[in-house]
Amino acid sequence: MLLREVVIATGNQGKLNEYRKILHGPELRVLGLEDVPVAMSEVIETGRSYVNNAIAKAVAIAKTTGIPAIGDDSGLEIDALNGAPGPVSARYGINLRQKNVRSERDRNELILDLMKSIPLPKRTARFRACVALAMPGNIIITREGVCEGFIAESPRGDDGFGYDPIFLIPDGRSMAQIGDLKNTISHRGKAIAALLTAISSGKQTIDA
């Protein structure tokens, strides 16, 4: 399977920037939603699983544009919070009726507050990402990536987006402090690498 162009099915500019860095190359044109006549409001997420959400995004955009599309769904899973926020990471706080949670910073502060009495050894967590490639002919390939770490006691770093400032990798730095290394070790970076391997191997089957 050879890709010449692909649409990244996300309205999150941070995610799109990461995809453009990871997929950068002369043989592949990476498009954002601003480059095609479609809006993410047309895509319905079930919220039930990462893979279902990723497939829904990819299939909807590929069908509408006639261009191969990559859908992405990811989340932060905190062991001390029984796996929350999980698939609702982007909307966490709203589902808890926390009216003051309106931004990424608010969500980070909410999590730090919920975990303020939990010592670092028990603040284990992971980022999980599922990416799905959908072709206009409905060929779907999915891959997953996981990055293990800990929840910080306070935000660290100014790069990245989402929960990056409060997620620590094993060396003690946050995802917002490691620059382009993030694209190699992150959940999304691992999932995309696995997807590219599947594409280059000629795999053409649905694989969740």
pLDDT in tens, 110-157: 999 999 999 999 999 999 999 999 999 878 999 999 999 999 999 999
User: What pLDDT is stored for residue 46 in this prediction?
Assistant: 62
In this structure, are residues 142 and 157 in contact, taking their beta carbons and an 8 Å threshold?
Answer: no
The catalytic residue among 35, 72, 73, 207 is 73
**What is the percent of the chain where pLDDT is above 70?**
90
Q: Please count the other Cβ atoms lying within 10 Å of the Cβ belonging to residue 148.
A: 13
R_g of the chain, CA atoms, integer Å:
17
pLDDT: which is higher, 94 or 21: 21
36 near 10, Cβ under 8 Å? no
Q: CB of 50 within 8 A of CB of 191?
A: no
Predicted confidence band of residue 41 (pLDDT cuts 50, 70, 90): low
Q: How many CA atoms lie within 13 A of 116 on its CB side?
A: 5
What are the boundaries of each domain within the chain? 5-200
Q: Does CATH number 3.90.480.20 belong to domain 5-200?
A: no
Q: Which residues contact residue 187 at a Cβ distance below 8 angstroms, ignoring those fewer than 6 apart?
A: 74, 126, 127, 128, 129, 145, 146, 147
Active site (annotated) includes residue 79: no
